[in-house]
Amino acid sequence: MILYELIDFDILRVIWWGLLGVLLIGFALTDGFDMGVGALLPFVGRTDVERRVVLNTIGPVWEGNQVWFILGGGAIFAAWPPLYAVSFSGFYLAMFVILAALIVRPVAFTYRSKRDGAGWRTAWDWALFTSGAVPALLFGVAVGNVLLGVPFHLTEDLMPMYDGNFASKFFGLLHPFALLAGLVSLSMLLMHGAAWLNLKTEGPVVARARSIGIKAGLVAMAGYALAGVWLALGIDGFAIVSEVAVNGPSNPLYSEVSRGGSWLSSYADRPWITIAPVMGFVGTAMAVRGLQAGREVSTLLWSKLGITGIIASVGLTMFPFILPSTVDPNSSLTVWDASSSHQTLFIMLVVTLIFMPLILAYTSWVYKVLWGKVTEADVTENNDTVY
C-alpha cells in the first residue's frame, strides 16, 4: 500500500505509455525479423534445401517471439480501454487481414514438409511470404493513420463512433502518407530479416540476403526521411489547448484539443527526443554498412537500434496523444485521459515487474541454446529438423 500511495496516477500513466512502447518495440525486434525472413524466403532460397535452411533459422523461435504481440494487445486492452475499443473497431478489417496472415504462418510451417512435391512446397513458401510481408506493411499503414488522425468521435456517454462505411474502414486507411509509412515498415523489417539471415546462414543464402537487405535499408532511410518532411510540411498536428489535468478522470472529453501546426513542434518543446530519429538513421545506416562488410552480430544489433529509434520517434513526437481524432479533436485519446484506473495500472505494473524479467530470462536462454548457424547439412542430415 505504501508503494501504491507513492506512485501518483500521472506517473503510472506515463509508465504504462512507455511500457506500451516497449512491448511494441519488443514485438518489432523479435517477431519483426521473423516477418522479414518470411518475406525474403522466395528470393533468398533458390532450392528446397536453401529454403529449408532459411525456415530453420526462425522455426524454433517464431512462436515465442509472438508473445510480444499478445502482450501488446493485452496491455492495450487492460491499460488503455478506450484505445482498444476505438482502434480494434475502426481498424477491424485491417486487423482481420493481419491476423489472417499471421494464422497462415503456423499452418505453412506445419504442412510445407508433409509432401515432397515442388508445387506443394512452393505454394506454402509464398504463403509464408504473405504472412511476413502483409503484416509488416499493414502495421506501418496503421502507424501512418495514427499520425494522420482517425475519423472517430465519442458520444456523451463515451461510446466510440467510427465514421464511414464498412469498406472505407479498410480502403480509407490507404492514404498516400500511410502507404509511405507502410513502405518504411516493410523495408525496415526486410533489412532486419536480412540481418538475421546474415547471422544465421552462410553461402548463397547469406549473399542474397545481404544484397536485398542493403537495398531495403536504403529504402527505409529514404522513406523515413521523406515521412519526416511530409509531417513537417503537409500534415497538421494536434495540441491540448485547455489546462492539462494529468491526474484527472479517464474521460477524453474532459480536455479541449485543437488541430493545426506541426507534429514536429514537439522537438522544439522537448529537444531531447531528437535522440529517437538519430537512433533510427544511425542504426539503419550502420546496419546497411554491416551488411556490406559482412559483419554479423553487430549488424543485427544496429538493425535493432534503428528499429527502436524509428518506432520510438512516433510515440515521442505524438506525446501525449495516443490516438487523435480528425472528426472531433476533443475526442482524441491522450495519455492523461484514456487510461484505466490508478489501482488497475498499479496492479498491472506489479505483475509486469514479476513476469517481464522471467520472459526476458527465458527468451535469452532460448537464443543462447540455439546460437550458431543453420547449414545445409543440418537440414539434410538431422532428423530433428522438420521444416
Question: What is the tens place of the pLDDT at every residue in 194-206?
Answer: 999 999 999 999 9
d(CA 137, CA 142): 9
pLDDT digits (tens, 9 = 90+) for 104-117: 998 998 888 888 88
Instruction: Give me the residues paired with residue 238 across strands.
Output: 259
d(CA 225, CA 220): 9
d(CA 102, CA 256): 39
Q: What is the DSSP letter of 153?
A: E
pLDDT at 69: 85
Long-range contacts, 378-387 (Cβ 8 Å, 24+)? 378/53, 378/56, 379/49, 379/52, 379/53, 379/56, 380/49, 385/52, 385/56, 386/59, 386/113, 387/52, 387/55, 387/56, 387/59, 387/109, 387/112, 387/113
pLDDT at 381: 77
pLDDT at 68: 86
pLDDT at 290: 96
pLDDT at 384: 59
pLDDT at 184: 97
Cell matching residue 89? 473497431
% of the chain beyond a pLDDT of 70? 96
pLDDT digits (tens, 9 = 90+) for 135-175: 999 999 999 999 999 888 888 887 887 776 666 666 778 88
Q: Which residues of the chain have pLDDT under 50?
A: none
Q: Residue 194: what are its φ and ψ, rounded to 5°? A: -65, -40
Task: Give the C-alpha distances (Å, rounded to integers) separating 379 from 52, 91, 216.
Answer: 7, 40, 28
